[in-house]
Chain A
Amino acid sequence: MDGLTEMLKGTLEGCVLEIIGSEETYGYAITRRLNELGFADVVEGTVYTILLRLEKNGLVQVTKRPSGLGPPRKFYALNDAGREELATFWAKWEYITSRIDKLKEGGR
């Protein structure tokens, strides 16, 4: 689907947290996962800025590992603060979607 960028903005960080939460991974793999999921507009640069923020906010553990070709790759795993943040994200998500669903169904 096109034109998702604006709407996705606030939730992408949560998506990245979720992906990292399921296994330690790196930027390109995260981007590909999001693309496969149907978010075709997400580029590596977007994921990079998110990872940078997660790192700065102390939510991830970063390990540099050599890669087959090119410079070493940064791998990301969630730490405790990151797992907490992820839980908060899903709680907020539940809240928002439940409210919006209600609106759509015309309920009060």
Chain B
Amino acid sequence: MGIQDIIEGKRQWRAHMARVKALPRDYQIVYKEIQRYLFKVGPIDLLDGSLLSGILDFFEEGAASGKGVLELIGDDVAAFCDDLIKDSRTFADIYQESIRGEPGTAEK
């Protein structure tokens, strides 16, 4: 289910956050706000870890090219996030399916 992996991967998580800290200030701010938003929305893509590390890769590339973060992703950060997880179901979706007992039917 991945949670153990997340917990046992605490060290990996620290390494991840250390990479965040190494970003320019504007990138750090935006990254953290994005992460916070994604934790709330809960796309299941979060579990395999590639969603967040992918954003980080992308931000590192952008920072290396000398661009500002909003220049890279646009002013509407929320729209960027929603685009990122457009196809992803959320934990809430799955939960709602489970209480309805109709797996797979709770998608929009």
Contacts and interface: CB of A to CB of B under 8 A. Distances in A.
Do A and B come into direct contact in the complex, CB within 8 Å?
yes
Interface of A: 27-28, 43-46, 48-50, 52-53, 56-57, 67, 69-71, 73-74
Interface stretch (B5-13, B67-75, B97-105): B67-75
A29 to B, nearest CB: 12
A50 B86 CA distance: 10
B107 interface: no
Interface of B: 54, 57-58, 60-65, 67, 71-74, 80, 83-84, 86-87
Nearest to B88: A56
Given A49-B80, A70-B65, A56 B86 contact: no
A70 B71 CA distance: 18
A45 B73 contact: yes
A36 to B, nearest CB: 17
A43 B71 CA distance: 7
B38 to A, nearest CB: 13
